[in-house]
Every structure is written in structure tokens, then in C-alpha cells.
Amino acid sequence: MPIDPNAVGAQGSPTRHRWTSRDTLLYSLGVGAGTEELAFTTENTKDTPQRVFPTFAVIAGMGGLPFDKIGSFNPAMLVHGEQGIELLQEIPAEGEVETTGKITAIWDKGKGAVVEMACESTDVATGKPMLRTRFSAFIRGEGGFGGERGPSASAEMPSRAPDHEVTYQTSPDQALVYRLSGDRNPLHSDPSFAAMGGFDRPILHGLCTYGFTGRALLHTLCDGDPSRFRSMDGRFSKPVFPGEALTVSVWVDGKECTFQTRNPAGDVVLDQGKMRLA
């Protein structure tokens, strides 16, 4: 059957995800960290305990998603629309969470359907909530079922110059490293598969762009301290190719900030950015 708007509120089965120090180190390399960030890229540097980038939440906390309850659709038509994370405690270098996902909204956009889901992950060791994730997926060709269109993006970037601007260079091999954290979609590695999607070469994972952006926010606004990083939301607006530079522009308003990430041509690739810190 097609997309079922009555699936809103449905929950998935709880799933557990365990990670090790190696997993978090590999994620750090996948989002571009290196020798200048040894707290995130090594576990045995003198007087430098290993810490974890807050955006690792997208790896640790994306479980128990009830995709099987929204109806039938072609997975190739699904595009990652928005991503958000909320940290309730600092993510440890090694740990395990139990995650439950829930469908929070389904919108009819005419040419497609937007499905929004949210997950909460509990620390298995303590029984306390560790993190929450939320995301939306746009499924092309699945609109027109007569549902509500839902809200439209309303956040506007400040007209003044940004308070901070950070540029990180991605590697031509960036997607090959990032995919080792779990997303083995050949769109990011196989030129022939990327061509079927209309790209002349593989594209970077959207969540890798998200991780580069979160890394810039962490160092710029939190002095590299993950315990001060509370939440981050953004909307994917354009693909990024491995090897492109990413420039993150940040506007600060107290404990909150607005941000955008652009490619070298000046195109916005991560939009509607909001971040909150302690």
C-alpha cells in the first residue's frame, strides 16, 4: 500500500547499539579530525582522555525506526531532509544505548511525502536518557494522498556578517572513511551507482557534512568541550562532493546560534541551522 498517514504515533521495537573506543575514533576521522584534535582521534595520548564528538549521536542513536509501518515505497526515492540531535549527557568513548523510534508526523507535499521520526536513547549501564535524535525523510513520488502539507521552513539567516566563520577541507577519500561508521550506501562510493542517481561521481554522506559542521560549532562555541554542546538541527539543501571545502558561518545569540554551511561555489548545503550550548 502507499504511504499511510495513520501511521503517525507508531513506534518501532527497542534496539540496542554498542560502540567501542575504536568506533568513536573512526567516526572522528570520518568527519575530518586529525592530529590537532588528539582528544577525539587517540585514546592513549598523555594527559588527554578520549572524548567523543556530539554528532556521533547520529550513529549511536538512530535505532528502532518503524519504517515498516509507514506503508510501501521505493527506498531509492528517499532523501534525507533534516537532522537534529539533543545531548542529555556527554557521549562516552565506549557505551551502549537502547533506542526506541517513533513516527511523529507525515506530511503531503504533493510531489512527495515527508516523514518525521524521533528517537530516544537510554544508557543501558545507568538506565538514564543519554540522547535524542530527530530527522525527516522526503520520499519522492509518494505525495498526493490528501494529507496536510505541514509547516514550511521559516528560519531566516541574520542580515549582519557572521560572528564566526570556519572552513574545513574534506578529502577526496572522505566518504570512504565515513562509510566505515555504518552507512555503506554505494551512492557514496560506487561511481556507477552514483551515475544512476544523476551524479557524475559519488557524493559525500549528508551526515558527514553534518559532522564537519558540528565539529566547527564545537570548537568555535564550546572550546572543544562536548559537555557544553546541547543540541543541533539543520536541513540538507544540496549535495557535497568529497574533496570540496565546507565553510560554516555562525551567528551567536547568547546560548543559541544560527548557522549555515556552504560549498566553495557559495551554495548552501546545510541550511536552517540551529545550535544550543550550555
pLDDT in tens, 18-72: 999 999 999 999 999 999 999 999 999 999 999 999 999 999 998 888 989 998 8
Q: Does the pLDDT of residue 167 top 90, yes or no?
A: yes
* Centroid of chain to Cα 51: 19
Q: How confident is the model at residue 75 (pLDDT cuts 50, 70, 90)?
A: confident
What distance in Å separates the CA atoms of residue 232 and residue 156, rounded to the nearest whole number? 16
Name the residue among 2, 34, 58 with its Cα closest to residue 183: 58
CB 209 within 8 Å of CB 217: no
Residue listed under C-alpha cell 506503508: 71
183 part of the active site: yes
pLDDT of residue 61: 95
4 part of the active site: no
The architecture that CATH gives domain 5-140 is Roll (3.10)
**Phi/psi at 142 (5° precision):** -110, 15
pLDDT of residue 154: 65
Set of cell numbers at residue 268: 548552501
Q: Is the model more confident about 77 or about 255?
A: 255
Share of the chain above pLDDT 90, in %: 88
192: left (phi over 0), alpha (psi -120 to 50) or beta: alpha
Compute the radius of gyration of the chain from its Cα atoms: 18
Name the residue among 143, 126, 117 with its Cα closest to residue 65: 117
CB 54 within 8 Å of CB 214: yes
Q: How confident is the model at residue 196 (pLDDT cuts 50, 70, 90)?
A: confident
CA distances from residue 147 to 8, 75, 114, 143, 199 in whole angstroms, order as listed: 12, 21, 11, 8, 32
Residue listed under C-alpha cell 564550546: 222
The CB-side HSE value for 100 (13 A sphere, CA atoms) comes to 9
Return the number of other C-beta atoms located less than 10 Å from residue 204's C-beta. Answer: 23
Active-site residue identified among 23, 84, 95, 188: 188
Active-site residue identified among 203, 205, 211, 233: 203
Return the number of other C-beta atoms located less than 10 Å from residue 23's C-beta. Answer: 21
pLDDT, mean over the chain: 95
30 part of the active site: no
Name the residue among 58, 43, 37, 45 with its Cα closest to residue 93: 43
For the segment 229-272, what is each residue's pLDDT rounded down to a tens digit? 999 999 999 999 999 999 999 999 999 999 999 999 999 999 99
Q: Is the model more confident about 151 or about 50?
A: 50
Active-site residue identified among 23, 108, 123, 183: 183
| Stretch 92-120: mean pLDDT | 96
What fold does the segment set 164-277 form as a domain?
Answer: Thiol Ester Dehydrase; Chain A (3.10.129)
85 part of the active site: no
Return the number of other C-beta atoms located less than 10 Å from residue 180's C-beta. Answer: 13
- CATH topology identical between 5-140 and 164-277: yes
CA distances from residue 278 to 49, 124, 259 in whole angstroms, order as listed: 21, 25, 17
Domain ranges of the chain: 5-140, 164-277
Q: State the pTM of this model.
A: 0.95
| Stretch 94-116: mean pLDDT | 96
